[in-house]
Structure 1
Amino acid sequence: MKAKLGKIASLFVPLLLGFGLIYYQYTTLSVEELNKIESCFKQADYFYIFLSLFIALFGYWARAYRWKYSLQHLGYKTDFKNDLMSVCVSYFMNLTIPRSGEITRAALLKRYENVPFDKGFGTIVAERIVDLVIFFLFVGLAFVLQFEKLYNFIKGKIAFEKIVLFGITGLILGVVFLLIWIYAEWSIIKKLKNKLSGLIEGMLSILKMKDKWKYIFFSFFIWFTYLLMFYVTIFALPETSDISFDIVIMGFIFGSLAVGFTNGGLGAYPLAIAMIFSLYGISNDIGTAFGWLVWTSQTILTILLGLLSYAFLPLYNKK
């Protein structure tokens, strides 16, 4: 019963949260702002939107191509078309239940390439670790480029004394957690250590690959396509076409975080973009319009590729 309730919650809670954020954003916008957003959609230069979608295709291709190196390391030579279509379906599934795409991708690989589920899933977990490391590199870059802006923003919202208090509290909690992690014999800590050791093992397995440098190259290439497809869309609106690259980096980071917050970033993505753009003097209506343009176009592409791949997989593999 608990497992069933957990599955229902994992499906509907992010979805309801997404619609809640849409409702919140809609009700906080004035009539003039809503009219401006509508005008932006009508007057946008869709050449750059379609260029962004074209670049996104390279991201799909690169993710599938990178996958073959980890599978070959395990001794499995798979059909690239099956890998690519499985990736497309996994992106689509993540729009329904967050993180369900990884399970779906491993299951499809088991069905059509006879790769054991646990091994296929292990390669996907390793991918996620690498992606997380690269994402934090982007975060570090943004922090360096925008330290003064972020510091002034936080300082303007929170008193300096509270910032110091938060810092000391965080340090104390960090030390306490470290001591518990090292010395505690609690079952939950042991389970976490086992899971972490598995993730570390998956990460280290990449370093043992024959083609590890190619794997790493394609990992960076994937994130390059993500950043580039976000960057070119700024030229779709005159109001965003002249923003600097460091602002693009900040929008890209917060947009990426929002994607994992709800189903594919439903509601959260446009709100996050509008909020971060507002720090740089871009009006709320323009930031919202830009966020919805990017999110809508990428979501439509994800749905189309996912459904087409799901339909074509059994036909392609029909014996």
Structure 2
Amino acid sequence: MSKKKLIKVLKILIPLGLGVFLIYYSLSSATPEERTTLWLNIKKADPTYIFLSLIFGILSHFSRAYRWQFLLEPMGYSPKLSNRFMAVMAAYLANLGIPRSGEFLRGALLTTYEDVPFEKGFGTIISERIADFLMLLLVVAVAVLMQTDMLLTYLKEQNINPLYTVIFLALVVGAIYLGFRIVKNARSGLFLKIRKFMNGLLEGMKSILHMKHKIAFIAHTLFIWLMYILMFWVIKFTIPEIAIANLGIILAAFVIGSFSISVTNGGIGVYPITIGALFVFFGFSKEGGEAFGWIIWGSQTLLVVILGALSFILLPVLNRSK
């Protein structure tokens, strides 16, 4: 096996292996009574609220696909809504295999089926992510204001520092800026090709500044995140113990879950454990908290697997001419 192929395999196996190990460790370290209680909590979960959570999840994904058009339109592209939605779902499915690979896949699918240059499509996805990151910061701010002392104490105890995420993004932005400066004056060779790609990327990112429907874009962004919170909120009613948790606790769990999901493929293993630990910190049982984490993670992951797999199948079928 070549070094390049080995690196690709390790990118999949290491995060996946970490997730599987954490699942094993969590279950093996629990007492038989704790495992029984955890399973009973999951088994007795009211399917009505799980169904509602899935509906909110679908609405958020559909809104994301619809919102994408506002960024593509200034560059003269109008992909079909169905193709945009399937590209979004296929990207989420890809992220379960290799973290963050979905963004590249979204751009590639739009290139394949809608003739949108990859660098421009990918540029719009970067702009999307910037808008979503600002929304996450807003949710973090609200959660901190509602549970300041307890949330900061929990982050410290778990060695989770959100500042690292901000620093990482700043470094990425700095690296991109430096890259633009290096290739700006290129006239030939590889740097000329890179400059062409980066110019397209920049055009895609700038599309957010030239949108005709800025209000609609903001409205969809708010709607997407409202759906995220609602699909998280309604799951609390599946666990009687967790049902009494207030909005501040739920937002705190939402924030912690959002940070933890990037550690492994789609949060496998890490997500339920982290959510459970936070609920324990707020005085709930470990079994109830982890059951909440497993239900929200399991239901939304199953939704992504089903819709993502269907998207992979239907994209070539519905776009035979491509």
- Any residues of structure 2 matched to 1:136-155 within 5 Å, and which? 136-151=137-152, 153=154
Report how many aligned residue pairs link the two structures: 294
Aligned to 1:266: 268
| Aligned-partner SS, 1:210 | coil
Q: String of CA shifts for 1:270-313, please: whole Å, max 9, x gaps.
A: 01100111111111111111111111111111000011111111
Aligned to 2:92: 91
- The TM-score, its normalising length taken from structure 1, stands at 0.85
Aligned to 2:6: 5
CA contact (8 A) 2:50 2:238 kept: yes
Cα 1:209–1:194 shift into 2, 3 Å: farther
Aligned to 2:24: 23
Cα 1:152–1:294 shift into 2, 3 Å: closer
Cα 1:2–1:128 shift into 2, 3 Å: farther
| Aligned-partner SS, 2:244 | coil
Which whole-Å CA distance do the structure 1 matches of 2:173 and 2:43 have between them?
54
| Aligned-partner SS, 1:98 | coil
Residue 149 (structure 1) shift: 1.6
Residue 8 (structure 1) shift: 2.1
The letter of the residue matching 2:144 is F
Aligned to 1:193: 177
Which whole-Å CA distance do the structure 2 matches of 1:318 and 1:233 have between them?
40
Cα 1:249–1:65 shift into 2, 3 Å: same
Cα 1:112–1:152 shift into 2, 3 Å: closer
| Aligned-partner SS, 1:230 | helix
- The TM-score, its normalising length taken from structure 2, stands at 0.84
Residue segments in structure 2 that go unaligned for 5+ positions in a row? 182-197
Cα 1:153–1:229 shift into 2, 3 Å: closer
1:60 pairs with 2:44:
no
Which whole-Å CA distance do the structure 1 matches of 2:316 and 2:206 have between them?
35
* RMSD of Structure 2 on Structure 1 (CA): 2.6
- Any residues of structure 2 matched to 1:1-319 within 5 Å, and which? 1-151=2-152, 153=154, 191-194=175-178, 205-319=207-321
Cα 1:9–1:275 shift into 2, 3 Å: same
CA contact (8 A) 2:91 2:105 kept: yes
Which whole-Å CA distance do the structure 2 matches of 1:95 and 1:154 have between them?
25
CA contact (8 A) 2:123 2:202 kept: no
Q: String of CA shifts for 1:244-287, please: whole Å, max 9, x gaps.
A: 00000001111111221111110011011001111111111111
CA contact (8 A) 1:92 1:306 kept: yes
Q: String of CA shifts for 1:153-189, please: whole Å, max 9, x gaps.
A: 578x59xxxxxxx9xxx9xxx9xxx9xx9xxxxxx99
Residue 151 (structure 1) shift: 4.8
Cα 1:55–1:195 shift into 2, 3 Å: farther
Which whole-Å CA distance do the structure 2 matches of 1:78 and 1:8 have between them?
33
Residue segments in structure 1 that go unaligned for 5+ positions in a row? 159-165, 182-187
Sequence identity percentage: 41
| Aligned-partner SS, 1:281 | coil
| Aligned-partner SS, 1:238 | coil
CA contact (8 A) 1:270 1:290 kept: yes
| Aligned-partner SS, 1:95 | helix
Q: String of CA shifts for 1:179-201, please: whole Å, max 9, x gaps.
A: xx9xxxxxx99845335987998
| Aligned-partner SS, 2:211 | coil
| Aligned-partner SS, 1:241 | helix
Residue 148 (structure 1) shift: 2.1
Cα 1:196–1:33 shift into 2, 3 Å: farther
Which whole-Å CA distance do the structure 1 matches of 2:202 and 2:109 have between them?
25
Which whole-Å CA distance do the structure 2 matches of 1:191 and 1:279 have between them?
38
Which whole-Å CA distance do the structure 2 matches of 1:110 and 1:126 have between them?
18
Cα 1:84–1:151 shift into 2, 3 Å: closer
CA contact (8 A) 2:122 2:204 kept: no
Q: String of CA shifts for 1:44-91, please: whole Å, max 9, x gaps.
A: 111100110011110110010000110111110111111111111111
